[in-house]
């Protein structure tokens, strides 16, 4: 089980890095976030903002921006997960091999999440460089890091599921972006609704659970929220691929 | 045949929505047997093969591979399967070595045997010289061979190849046939093809499928026993007689003219009267200058079993 999952994950990573896409995305994301990092840092250096701490302004601010950048970039990475296997016909190789569809889906998920971890590591090197000169609130950073990671893995599972629905990477990318964006801003949609509905909408928002983690509030319901979203879409992907054998 | 049954297909049916793909298909394949799968386009060959490999699920019926049900114990059953789909399942951005390494690991080959398995498979398919090249830069024939290499890499007892020789040049076709003959000695091989001569030179048994149902399942040597008498002849006459005169000869079912001096004469089943025609041609001075045996038996059988429906289809499509 573990062997097969890591085999598929490793192949996914290897093929990601064979394409220029992964490298370009790593570079662009790094570049964009570096600009924001610089802006946040220079904003902090101004005397007016001395009220709040360095970690709050720079590190949490940067992770906040990372979430938005990932929202834009993640659909491009997840779009080809299943669609490309279908297009190349390699899905038949995978399904006629002695691995289960669960292993296949989990392998894909682990592969792409590993890539996200790598991306996150590269981003985190920037705030880590501040440690040479000053003290950082490591607890808050850890909480923020977990928040971004959970957010990304939710993005990955949603993208994986949408990629399993179609044959076209472009369709998968656009739909994934739409869904992610909707889940991001759904709490705004709820502001005009009734009290109860507003709460439901706010609760469904990917953003809300994320911001409290960024401020260093480690609430287990927030963590569970992302884990449940991930598991939910992974199960949907498995069902979808399984059903394809019968109805496809 | 006494040997062990490796593939057992029972009453398989599969529908795509309302569209029937195959219905009530049953057959067995023994160890050491090469089964040729024949049928017009859209007859259900690929569907059947994909169901056997577990890529598609059947609506009814069961498939068992080496005694393991593909649905009940997929992991055990699939260990014994090597499958080459119609479009070879290749990752274009990997090299041949990387790809075969991945395929071998997917099929559960142990680390110690990995290098051996990959090398043997490359050698069998003639891929030694292209091991470190990217798959996307290979010619179609090489890609097809990489596809075959991944199907046999774990020396499965059941090898299923969907049109394995498409896109290959004649020399490669001969090599691949040689390879399949070798594999057929101690494995079960199912191969589908459009090329009738391939079946005749390679297979032990032929299975013709038409419109989703099996219309013929017979060992090839039985078929060939009948093949001394082809079902038709092609005859070239300088002074062709009236068609009625030819139709008057006993055993002649129909006559078609191919061009102004060449005719095709179809005989009634098991009534090859070539000698009578030649006699008459000489005595009546028809100016016989050419005489070719017509379709081989397999081709004739294939045409007979599938043609009727095609004509029907053509009528429908023109209507």
The complex's ipTM works out to 0.88
Closest CA to A229 of A180, A166, A196, A170: A180
From A18, A92, A246, residue closest to B83, measured CB to CB = A92
How high is the pLDDT of residue B230? 57
Q: Which residues, in sequence order, are CB contacts of B111 under 8 Å at separation 6+?
A: none
Task: State the Cα–Cα distance between residues B319 and B289, nearest whole angstrom.
Answer: 41
Question: How does pLDDT run along chain B (319 residues), one tens digit per residue?
Answer: 457 888 999 998 998 888 888 888 999 998 888 999 888 888 888 899 999 999 999 888 999 998 899 888 989 999 999 999 989 999 999 999 999 999 999 998 988 999 999 999 999 888 889 989 999 999 888 899 899 999 999 989 999 999 888 778 888 888 888 888 888 887 889 989 877 878 888 888 888 888 888 888 888 777 765 545 556 777 888 888 877 777 777 777 778 777 777 887 877 766 667 788 888 888 888 888 888 776 566 777 777 777 765 444 444 444 3
Paired strand residues for B10: B62
Contacts of A210-214 with C-beta under 8 Å, sequence gap 24+, read A210/A67, A210/A147, A210/A148, A210/A150, A210/A151, A211/A64, A213/A143, A213/A144, A213/A146, A213/A147, A213/A150, A214/A60, A214/A63, A214/A64, A214/A143, A214/A144, A214/A147
Test A88 with B94 for CB contact under 8 angstroms: no
Using an 8 Å Cβ cutoff, are B33 and B20 in contact? no
In chain B, ranges of CATH 3.30.70.100 domains = 231-294
Closest CA to B38 of B232, B303, B293, B221: B303
* Length of chain B, in residues: 319
Provide the 3-class DSSP secondary structure of residue B242: coil
Task: State the Cα–Cα distance between residues B110 and B80, nearest whole angstrom.
Answer: 15
Test B105 with A7 for CB contact under 8 angstroms: yes
Using an 8 Å Cβ cutoff, are A43 and A57 in contact? yes
Task: State the Cα–Cα distance between residues A6 and A3, nearest whole angstrom.
Answer: 5
pTM value?
A: 0.84
| Lookup: tokens for A195 | 């009290």
Using an 8 Å Cβ cutoff, are B233 and B274 in contact? yes
Q: What is the mean pLDDT of residues A105-124?
A: 95
Task: State the Cα–Cα distance between residues B107 and B197, nearest whole angstrom.
Answer: 32
Test B93 with A18 for CB contact under 8 angstroms: yes
Task: State the Cα–Cα distance between residues A16 and A118, nearest whole angstrom.
Answer: 13
Report chain B residues whose CB lies below 8 A from the CB of A98. 74-76, 78-79, 106-108
Q: What is the mean pLDDT of residues A44-72?
A: 83
Reported as a pLDDT band with limits 50, 70 and 90, residue A81 is very high
pLDDT tens, residue by residue, A139-195: 888 898 999 999 999 999 999 999 999 999 999 999 999 999 988 888 777 676 677
Q: What is the mean pLDDT of residues A134-143?
A: 86
Provide the 3-class DSSP secondary structure of residue B125: coil
How high is the pLDDT of residue B198? 81
Q: Which residues, in sequence order, are CB contacts of B146 under 8 Å at separation 6+?
A: B88, B90, B96, B99, B100, B125, B127, B135, B138
Which chain B residues have any C-beta within 8 angstroms of a chain A C-beta?
50, 53-57, 59, 74-76, 78-79, 81, 83, 85, 87-94, 98, 102-103, 105-108, 150
DSSP A1: -
Q: Which residue of A has its CA nearest to B88?
A: A89
Q: Which residue of A has its CA nearest to B75?
A: A98
Pick the CATH number of B5-224 from 3.40.50.300, 3.40.50.620, 2.60.40.1730, 3.40.50.970: 3.40.50.300
Report chain A residues whose CB lies below 8 A from the CB of B150. 93
Test B53 with A96 for CB contact under 8 angstroms: yes
Return the residue matching tokens 């992974």. Answer: A234
Report chain A residues whose CB lies below 8 A from the CB of B74. 98, 100
| Domain range B231-294, CATH class | alpha beta
Using an 8 Å Cβ cutoff, are A35 and A21 in contact? no
Test A15 with B91 for CB contact under 8 angstroms: yes
Task: State the Cα–Cα distance between residues B32 and B6, nearest whole angstrom.
Answer: 9
Residue A19: what are its φ and ψ, rounded to 5°?
-95, 150
Report chain B residues whose CB lies below 8 A from the CB of A6. none
What mean pLDDT value characterizes chain A? 89
How high is the pLDDT of residue A170? 94
How high is the pLDDT of residue A103? 94
From A4, A15, A92, residue closest to B89, measured CB to CB = A92
How high is the pLDDT of residue B316? 42
Using an 8 Å Cβ cutoff, are A104 and A241 in contact? yes
In chain B, ranges of CATH 3.40.50.300 domains = 5-224
List helix spans (H) across B167-273: 170-183, 196-202, 220-225, 243-247
From B74, B90, B107, residue closest to A88, measured CB to CB = B90
| Strand pairing category for B5-16 and B60-65 | antiparallel
**Residue % of chain A over a pLDDT of 70:** 97
pLDDT tens, residue by residue, A4-48: 999 999 999 999 999 899 999 999 999 999 999 999 988 888 877
Using an 8 Å Cβ cutoff, are B219 and B205 in contact? yes
Within 10 A of B310 (CB to CB), how many other CB atoms are there? 13
How high is the pLDDT of residue B315? 42
The CA distance from A25 to the nearest CA of chain B, in Å, is 18
């Amino acid at each position: 089980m573990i062997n097969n999952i890591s085999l598929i994950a490793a192949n996914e990573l290897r093929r990601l890095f064979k394409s220029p896409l992964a490298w370009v995305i790593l570079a662009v994301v790094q570049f964009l976030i570096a600009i924001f990092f610089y802006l946040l840092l220079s904003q902090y250096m101004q005397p007016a903002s001395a009220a709040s701490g360095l970690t709050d302004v720079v590190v949490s601010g940067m992770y906040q921006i990372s979430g938005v950048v990932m929202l834009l970039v993640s659909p491009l990475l997840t779009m080809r997960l299943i669609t490309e296997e279908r297009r190349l016909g390699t899905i038949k190789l995978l399904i006629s091999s002695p691995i289960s569809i669960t292993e296949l889906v989990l392998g894909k998920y682990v592969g792409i999440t590993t890539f996200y971890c790598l991306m996150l590591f590269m981003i985190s090197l920037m705030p880590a460089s501040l440690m040479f000169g000053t003290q950082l609130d490591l607890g808050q950073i850890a909480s923020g890091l977990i928040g971004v990671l959970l957010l990304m893995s939710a993005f990955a599972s949603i993208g994986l599921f949408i990629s399993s629905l179609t044959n076209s990477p472009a369709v998968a990318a656009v739909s994934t972006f739409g869904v992610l964006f909707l889940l991001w801003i759904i709490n705004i949609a709820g502001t005009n609704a009734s009290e109860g509905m507003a709460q439901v909408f706010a609760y469904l928002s990917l953003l809300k659970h994320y911001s409290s983690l960024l401020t260093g509030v480690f609430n287990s319901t927030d963590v569970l929220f992302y884990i449940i979203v991930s598991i939910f879409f992974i199960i949907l992907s498995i069902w979808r691929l399984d059903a394809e054998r019968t109805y496809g | 045949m006494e040997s062990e049954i490796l593939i057992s297909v029972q009453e398989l049916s599969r529908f795509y929505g309302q569209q029937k793909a195959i219905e009530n298909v049953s057959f067995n394949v023994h160890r050491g047997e090469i089964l040729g799968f024949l049928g017009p386009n859209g007859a259900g060959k690929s569907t059947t093969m994909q169901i056997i490999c577990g890529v598609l699920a059947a609506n009814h019926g069961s498939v068992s591979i080496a005694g393991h049900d593909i649905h009940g114990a997929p992991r055990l059953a699939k260990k014994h399967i090597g499958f080459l789909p119609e479009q070879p399942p290749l990752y274009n951005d990997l090299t041949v070595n990387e790809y075969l390494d991945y395929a071998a690991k997917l099929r559960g080959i142990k680390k110690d045997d990995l290098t051996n398995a990959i090398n043997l498979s490359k050698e069998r398919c003639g891929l030694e010289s292209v091991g470190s090249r990217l798959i996307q830069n290979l010619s179609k024939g090489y890609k097809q061979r990489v596809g075959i290499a991944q199907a046999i890499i774990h020396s499965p007892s059941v090898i299923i190849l969907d049109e394995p020789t498409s896109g290959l040049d004649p020399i490669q076709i001969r090599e691949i046939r040689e390879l399949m003959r070798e594999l057929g000695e101690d494995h079960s091989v199912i191969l589908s093809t459009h090329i009738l001569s391939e079946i005749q030179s390679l297979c032990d048994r032929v299975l013709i499928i038409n419109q989703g149902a099996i219309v013929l399942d017979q060992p090839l040597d039985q078929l060939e026993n009948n093949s001394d008498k082809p079902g038709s002849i092609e005859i070239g006459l300088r002074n062709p007689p009236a068609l009625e005169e030819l139709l008057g000869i006993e055993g002649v079912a129909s006559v078609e003219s191919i061009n102004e001096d060449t005719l095709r004469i179809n005989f009634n089943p098991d009534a090859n009267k070539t000698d009578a025609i030649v006699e008459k041609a000489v005595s009546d001075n028809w100016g016989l200058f050419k005489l070719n045996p017509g379709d081989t038996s397999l081709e004739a059988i294939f045409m007979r079993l599938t043609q009727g429906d095609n004509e029907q289809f053509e009528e429908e499509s023109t209507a």
